[in-house]
Structure 1
Amino acid sequence: MSALVQIGDGASARVANDGCGVHPIGGSFSAGRLDKVIEIVAAETGQTRGGILCSTRGSPRSSEARFIVYYLMNTSLGHPLSEIGVLMRRDRTSVANGVQIVEGRRDDERFDTLIKRLEDRLSEVRLLAVRATGAARSGPKHLVEAGR
């Protein structure tokens, strides 16, 4: 679900609330977050940015890294599957499938440790979900980073 909210002095931004917090969607905000997630996943998995963003399936390892990016963008940062698909030039159902594959692999202790390490890294660089706050329901809302 998305909505338009006031973010100060007459400006507004489209935000999404999908159970993982409220965050601006689209534009440079989302693209910037995706770039950072890809950078972190590439460094941790030994894959290249090009391999992760490859327009074809690529190698099994690059596909796995891509699926991890989908998973982190969706579950850790709260971006909708459709938005991730647009940003990575993939169909929403492909993104959903990748997220599901990562969720299924979290039973593997080594893989789960990798995902936890990546989630911790996202927290370290303060790439947290963003939420809308405001003093009153009808008052202006400001977008702020959600703390833990």
Structure 2
Amino acid sequence: MTCEVRAIPVYTAKDYPRIRQLPGADDMPATWEEWHADFEAAKAERLHRRDFTRAKVLIRPGKFKGWLAENSFSATEHARQLYAQERLDSKRAREEGRRELEKMLIASWQQLYIRPRRVAYHPPDHGSFGLIHAVIAGLFFAWLAHHWLG
């Protein structure tokens, strides 16, 4: 069973003022401490509801600013949420790709090294096998004759 995981944009105390300076970010609390208190309250509420379908995504101002410019957005709450979700989805897709690659490598390794290999069976050539026995038997009889007959 899979569930949709929603991203929650989070910020470090050092980066928060730089993100607040971006155009459109005036809907954010004035200080990181205020934002963090709201974040912790929302987290406690999610824990109380047993809602574990959220994932924190750290927003860095430089990359976020580049993404905003690339997509012609301002740093509104919706844009921050959208950016965080894109980063989360991208990370989860990379992890899923890595898991699939690992499964493929393990399967190929098992085929090569763990599973018994089929080896073609070639019965011995009885003509040369019989000839070898005949030579050995002849030498044995010659040795016996030499010892008996002296």
TM range (shorter): under 0.3
Q: Would you tell me which structure has more strand in proportion to its own residues?
A: 1
Give the alignment's TM-score, normalised by structure 1.
0.25
Give the alignment's TM-score, normalised by structure 2.
0.25
Q: Would you tell me which structure has more helix in proportion to its own residues?
A: 2
